[in-house]
């Protein structure tokens, strides 16, 4: 059976541009007629996604699959680590929870994961022409080399050549690239077939002497310098630039604040807001940053109870309740939805055990279970109160990924009626507070626009139209822009040579 060609993208550090370059290569190979799939053996992220068949995977590989023109598949990310504390993570293997482990336990057991990784990779390689692999962090983390399954360890398992990416925007790019190469073993250095410098601002000619010196020092060709470009791709990392947006966008008619919880997850739920000209979306960490927004959203979180304690201790909950008294619209998604209820209980110690009082804006009780709910789902908005009546009947779709089950006390009205006959979410009878378990629900313009128009009318801007974009079509334009950027600034023919020559040399 013919096996796919492969190429791997590694970086000198986290957030150097590995996911960016991987997605761009996936789109280029797709445009050039090759069946292409992304692959990352181990991903650590709280931003995850549920596939159509109910499996959980990292969001970056979902984005890269879209760039490659194919549906996300859990085989693209066989191991996902979701941090639950400073030194522990929930370990998800092939889309299902294996266990929650401390870092030391996981490192002891990492080698057990290799057969799962190899099976997933081989299966994808049998169905595609090219696999574009992504590393994690840096391949020069010498303390982790003996148990590496995601950087040079994975390059060895897949026998892939490597492109090394460095971020010049943070400074020290030549030292980080040279130092990374210098810390590798000779056999590992042999795999690095090209270097890319990412996020450059200014005249590239001033880099020329440094580029030539770096080539001479490492013996590795420079494949190009990518300029800093405002291409809007889904991000999954806590270092994501959009999470640093604290100030209100100048001239925006609507001010929307998302509470940046310590364990915030699935913040891609709110990417759609950035495409609406009338909207300013910002992430806030301190109560003083909240101000007087039109809408406050509590996002998903991997640790609902811990993050609710954080809100209580730093004064964010008290500030939220004051905004509620003033008539601010308040919404919770998944873990944020759970926080808005009356009580949260954890009898099975999914989050450490115990119970606590919720914020109390929705009349419901949440109990954490041992099983994680994972599914894509569709439905319609129920008949809602007058302030949100324009939303009633709108189509709704998204995915669920949560451990808790929430039970209404019968005071509030259901938000959604799902296609399977169940209801999801709750809305207060005055329409001021609502919540749902569905991630991605805002991506549908027919769901989001009525809410935005209601808020515009409420704050005296009824003449403004807030029109969300078609999210799927918008993403396609961004992937094509990314491909154009790479074609213009990287030596794509050389990258094809690396693919072909490595295959013949292997």
Annotated active-site residue 439? The verdict is: yes
User: Which position has the token pair 């999954």?
Assistant: 236
Nearest to 431 by CA among 463, 398, 455: 455
Catalytic position from the list 26, 334, 382, 427? 334
> What CA–CA distance (Å, rounded) separates 335 from 131?
35
What value, to the nearest 5°, has the Cα angle with vertex 40 and ends 39 and 45? 135
In this structure, are strands 343-346 and 354-357 parallel, antiparallel, or unpaired? antiparallel
What value, to the nearest 5°, has the Cα angle with vertex 385 and ends 380 and 391? 35
Distance of CA 368 to the CA centre of its chain: 24
* Coil vs helix vs strand at 473: helix
User: Which residues fall within 8 angstroms of residue 276, CB to CB, at 6 or more apart?
Assistant: 452, 466, 467, 468, 469
Angle between helical axes of 471-489 and 18-31 (0-180°, round to 10): 90
User: Which residues fall within 8 angstroms of residue 328, CB to CB, at 6 or more apart?
Assistant: 292, 293, 294, 295, 296, 432
What value, to the nearest 5°, has the Cα angle with vertex 470 and ends 464 and 471? 115
Contact 63, 233 (CB under 8 A): yes
Contact 331, 433 (CB under 8 A): yes
Radius of gyration of the chain (CA): 24
Annotated active-site residue 348? The verdict is: no
> What CA–CA distance (Å, rounded) separates 147 from 88?
17
Given CA atoms 4, 10, 15, 20 in this order, what sign does their dihedral have? Answer: negative
Contact 163, 9 (CB under 8 A): yes
Active-site annotation, residues: 334, 439
């Amino acid at each position: 059976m013919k096996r796919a060609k492969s190429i791997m993208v590694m970086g000198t550090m986290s957030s150097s541009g590995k996911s960016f370059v991987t997605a761009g290569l996936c789109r280029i190979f797709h445009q050039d007629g090759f069946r292409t799939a992304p692959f990352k053996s181990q991903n650590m992220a709280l931003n995850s996604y549920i596939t159509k068949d109910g499996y959980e995977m990292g969001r970056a590989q979902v984005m890269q699959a879209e760039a490659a023109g194919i549906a996300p598949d859990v085989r693209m990310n066989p191991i996902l680590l979701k941090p639950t504390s400073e030194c522990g993570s929930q370990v998800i293997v092939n889309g299902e929870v294996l266990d929650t482990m401390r870092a030391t336990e996981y490192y002891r057991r990492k080698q057990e994961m290799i057969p799962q990784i190899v099976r997933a990779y081989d299966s994808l390689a049998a169905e595609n022409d090219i696999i574009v692999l992504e590393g994690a962090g840096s391949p020069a983390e010498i303390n982790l080399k003996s148990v590496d399954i995601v950087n040079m360890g994975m390059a060895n398992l897949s026998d892939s050549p490597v492109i090394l990416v460095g971020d010049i925007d943070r400074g020290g790019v030549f030292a980080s690239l040279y130092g990374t190469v210098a810390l590798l073993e000779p056999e590992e250095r042999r795999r690095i077939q090209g270097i890319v410098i990412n996020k450059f601002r200014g005249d590239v000619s001033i880099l020329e002497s440094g580029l030539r010196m770096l080539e001479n020092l490492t013996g590795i060709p420079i494949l190009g310098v990518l300029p800093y470009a405002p291409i809007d791709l889904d991000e999954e990392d806590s270092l994501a630039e959009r999470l640093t947006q604290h100030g209100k966008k100048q001239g925006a008619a609507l001010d929307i604040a998302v509470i940046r919880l310590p364990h915030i997850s699935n913040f891609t739920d709110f990417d759609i807001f950035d495409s609406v000209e009338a909207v300013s979306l910002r992430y806030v960490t301190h109560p003083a940053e909240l101000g007087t927004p039109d809408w406050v959203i509590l996002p998903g979180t991997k640790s609902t109870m811990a993050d609710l304690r954080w809100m209580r201790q730093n004064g964010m909950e008290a500030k939220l309740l004051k905004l509620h008294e003033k008539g601010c619209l308040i919404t919770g998604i998944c873990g944020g939805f759970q926080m808005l209820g009356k009580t949260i209980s954890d009898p099975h110690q999914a989050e450490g055990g115990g119970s606590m009082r919720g914020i109390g804006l929705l009349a419901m009780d949440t109990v954490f279970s041992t099983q994680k709910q994972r599914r894509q789902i569709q439905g319609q908005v129920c008949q809602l109160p007058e302030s949100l009546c324009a939303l009633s009947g709108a189509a709704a779709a998204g995915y669920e990924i949560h451990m808790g089950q929430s039970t209404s006390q019968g005071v509030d009205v259901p938000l959604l009626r799902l296609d399977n006959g169940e209801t999801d979410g709750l809305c207060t009878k005055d329409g001021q507070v609502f919540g749902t378990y569905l991630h991605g629900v805002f991506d549908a313009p027919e769901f989001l626009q009525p809410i935005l128009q209601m808020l515009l009318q409420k704050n005296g801007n009824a003449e403004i139209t807030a029109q969300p974009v078609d999210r799927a079509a918008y993403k396609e334009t961004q992937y094509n822009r990314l491909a154009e950027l790479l074609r213009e600034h990287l030596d794509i023919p050389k990258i094809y040579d690396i693919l072909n020559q490595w295959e013949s040399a292997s």
